Structure 1
Amino acid sequence: MKLYLSILASAVLLSACSVQKTAVKEASSKKMSGNPIFPGWYADPEAAIFGNEYWVYPTFSDKYEKQTHLDAFSSKDLITWTKHPSVVDTSEIKWAHKAMWAPAIVEKDKKYYLFFGANDVQKDSEIGGIGVAVSNKPGGPFKDLLGKPLVNKNVNGAQPIDQFVFKDKDGQYYLIYGGWGHCNIAKLKNDFTGFLPFDDGVTFKEITPDKYTEGPYMFMKNGKYYFMWSEGGWTGPDYSVAYAIGDSPFGPFKRIGKILQQDASIARGAGHHSVMHNEKSDKYYIVYHRRPLTETDGNHRETCIDEMKFDANGLILPVKITKEGVAADKL
């Protein structure tokens, strides 16, 4: 009997080892990221590179009253993603109670600053707007930097949401933000606790391009400023991404055209994006959300990634949205 049990145990162990090896082999043989890149309803992804890791900070896409936390995801190769749950939530941001949206993140002086919108404020008498939290690690936990919103007013017609933080070549950081069809830029203080006025005394300058709706993003390439934004309605098939190119972060920005939009055979409502550049491979990636063809709920959005390319003149080529995603690309 003992011999039989010993043989049985050995067989079970060998079987388990075989399954484990198969699972490892299957995981290691995955060549493409696939889309979505991680499971769950997530939108408005902010993508960043810290050291040798890619990071994505999306909106948890649910009813506003359930949008009370932000998760993060990290990867070393764009293929395998690790979830970092609730890097910040409304238990830490006391003035926020719903609609934590569209995070933006920057690393400065060995600290990580996470900017976010909260409460979907409709008028200046409401508490909410754009906040900022800080952590010693990209995976949090993040703590409220100010204990109040950084921006809590509608200035130049721009709802205080969809913030992006841009670092210029001279080291100056700017907050670029705005919903309701208006986009502002403001010069951040060195410690991100407030703003510095421009030379003309104005704090918030409007840089709204034609057809702008929300979701601004900016990056530099070959000395030029690429300004990108989302157009159309966020629940509609017309949601998309367009861009302009300028000589400064203030433009003027003349709309060039759309570079990301839905493909009726793959997904609907592709928009609200960010961009990552792997300097080692010199590949650019656009990270965005889209709605599966099977879904009618406006909040059922997934985070996806595809490669973004340029022509010989530096213009962005239209992005083909895919089910396959991108190949492995280590930093």
Structure 2
Amino acid sequence: MNYPGNPIIRHKYTADPTALVYNDKIYLYTGHDEAPVGTEEYVMNDWLCFSSADLVTWEEHPGLLQATDFAWAAGGAYATNVIEKDSMFYWFTAVNHQTVSGTAIGVARSSSPTGKFEDVIGAALITRDMLPATGNPKINLDPSVIVDDDGCAYIFWGNGQCHYAKLTDNMVGLGSRINTVDLPDFEEGAHIHKRNGWYYLSYGYGMPEKVAYAMSRSIHGPWEFMGILNEIAGNCETNRPCIVDFRGKSYFFYHNGGLKNGGSHRRSVCVDELYYNTDASMKRVVMTSEGVSM
């Protein structure tokens, strides 16, 4: 599939991008919007995977993971994050739980970035009853994981409130208590990355969502709010950022409603270049129709 310009995938509606660079390729994992035209609610049953060596020509890898691959899940294939550690690939997901009210975080594992992923725990990693009492059934959304320079991994997530915790060395348990991060107008869509000793925590800001971000010298904060990174994505109320470096450049993945009949429930993943200032802060991302080329 060759899709120059934005959106970068056009034969399906895609959302909530997460990207992984491995062996000189970029692997893009997305949600899959299937709401019929005229239906203004989320219909999301599985996740999609694409790979590329140039960010223009994409190969699809079907059938890697769906919400019902978690036997304890009741559906709802929300935003995810895929990360590699010790040559294994971990897919952290947000789904609806069958027996614990609300959303939950699960984790699947594979020995290949395009292999079939399987539930590695047989239960949820994080459920709503593990958090302070809340009336928000979607509190456990949008996991984002970072493996730090010392090999320790941390997971960030949330809806209305950002949470984080350390993961165990095997990536499938919590290695600390659950903490909160206070961020202005945090809605959802957390994304954590690190560059040159700085931690960056980007997220959906307000509703409809812009993307804002904060910076810190420590994974534990304090976090300094840095302002808006990306404006409202046209006719789509949500956004979910993903920032990666690939072949010497930095890229910002996001979604909008840019395809025909698109909108908040039929979204499409896009990518544009991201640039840093001399003080390590990020420049505001300009969304383009042209996208990127290598």
Q: TM-score, normalised by structure 1?
A: 0.79
Conserved? CA contact 1:71–1:86, under 8 Å: yes
The answer to whether residue 170 in structure 2 is matched with residue 170 in structure 1 is no
The answer to whether residue 202 in structure 2 is matched with residue 228 in structure 1 is yes
| Aligned counterpart for 1:147 among listed residues 105, 115, 122 | 122
2:48 alignment partner in structure 1: 71
Q: CA deviation at 1:49?
A: 0.4
| Aligned counterpart for 1:50 among listed residues 13, 22, 43 | 22
Conserved? CA contact 2:236–2:264, under 8 Å: no
Q: Partner letter of residue 33 of structure 1? A: P
Q: CA deviation at 1:253?
A: 1.5
Q: Report Cα offsets for 1:97-156 as digits up to 9, x if no partner.
A: 3211111111122211111000178xx842750000011111120011011110012524
- Name the CA distance, whole Å, in 1 between partners of 2:44 and 2:233: 28
- Name the CA distance, whole Å, in 1 between partners of 2:169 and 2:24: 26
SS of residue paired to 1:307 = strand
Conserved? CA contact 1:95–1:127, under 8 Å: no
Q: Partner letter of residue 299 of structure 1? A: H
Q: TM-score, normalised by structure 2?
A: 0.89
The answer to whether residue 248 in structure 2 is matched with residue 273 in structure 1 is no
- Name the CA distance, whole Å, in 1 between partners of 2:31 and 2:233: 23
SS of residue paired to 1:176 = strand
Q: CA deviation at 1:85?
A: 1.4
SS of residue paired to 2:79 = strand
Taking only aligned residues, the RMSD between alpha carbons, in angstroms, comes to 2.3
2:38 alignment partner in structure 1: none
2:6 alignment partner in structure 1: 35
Q: Report Cα offsets for 1:272-331 as digits up to 9, x if no partner.
A: 1101102x42x1000010112864742111000000011222221111101110012xxx
- Name the CA distance, whole Å, in 1 between partners of 2:264 and 2:237: 10
Q: CA deviation at 1:91?
A: 4.5
1:134 alignment partner in structure 2: 109
SS of residue paired to 1:139 = coil
2:190 alignment partner in structure 1: 216
Q: Partner letter of residue 140 of structure 1? A: G
Q: CA deviation at 1:90?
A: 3.7
Q: CA deviation at 1:95?
A: 1.6
Number of residue-to-residue matches in the alignment: 283
- Name the CA distance, whole Å, in 2 between partners of 1:92 and 1:268: 29
SS of residue paired to 2:63 = strand
1:101 alignment partner in structure 2: 78
Matching of residues 158-197 of structure 1 within 5 Å: 159-179=139-159, 181-197=160-176
Q: Partner letter of residue 184 of structure 1? A: H
Conserved? CA contact 1:285–1:307, under 8 Å: yes
Q: Report Cα offsets for 1:2-27 as digits up to 9, x if no partner.
A: xxxxxxxxxxxxxxxxxxxxxxxxx9
- Name the CA distance, whole Å, in 2 between partners of 1:73 and 1:109: 22
The answer to whether residue 265 in structure 2 is matched with residue 290 in structure 1 is no
SS of residue paired to 2:185 = coil
Q: CA deviation at 1:65?
A: 7.6
Identity score, percent: 28
* Unaligned ranges ≥5, structure 1: 1-26, 198-202
Q: Partner letter of residue 172 of structure 2? A: T
Q: Partner letter of residue 243 of structure 1? A: Y
- Name the CA distance, whole Å, in 2 between partners of 1:65 and 1:270: 12
Conserved? CA contact 1:65–1:97, under 8 Å: no
- Name the CA distance, whole Å, in 2 between partners of 1:220 and 1:65: 31
* Unaligned ranges ≥5, structure 2: 36-40
Go from structure 1 to structure 2 and tell me whether the alpha carbon gap of 1:98 and 1:65 turns closer, same or farther (over 3 Å shift): farther
Go from structure 1 to structure 2 and tell me whether the alpha carbon gap of 1:65 and 1:318 turns closer, same or farther (over 3 Å shift): closer
Q: CA deviation at 1:66?
A: 4.2
Conserved? CA contact 1:93–1:147, under 8 Å: yes
SS of residue paired to 2:253 = strand
Conserved? CA contact 1:68–1:97, under 8 Å: no
Go from structure 1 to structure 2 and tell me whether the alpha carbon gap of 1:105 and 1:296 turns closer, same or farther (over 3 Å shift): closer
Conserved? CA contact 1:270–1:288, under 8 Å: no
Q: Partner letter of residue 258 of structure 2? A: P
SS of residue paired to 1:244 = strand
SS of residue paired to 1:292 = coil
Go from structure 1 to structure 2 and tell me whether the alpha carbon gap of 1:263 and 1:273 turns closer, same or farther (over 3 Å shift): closer
Q: CA deviation at 1:196?
A: 1.6
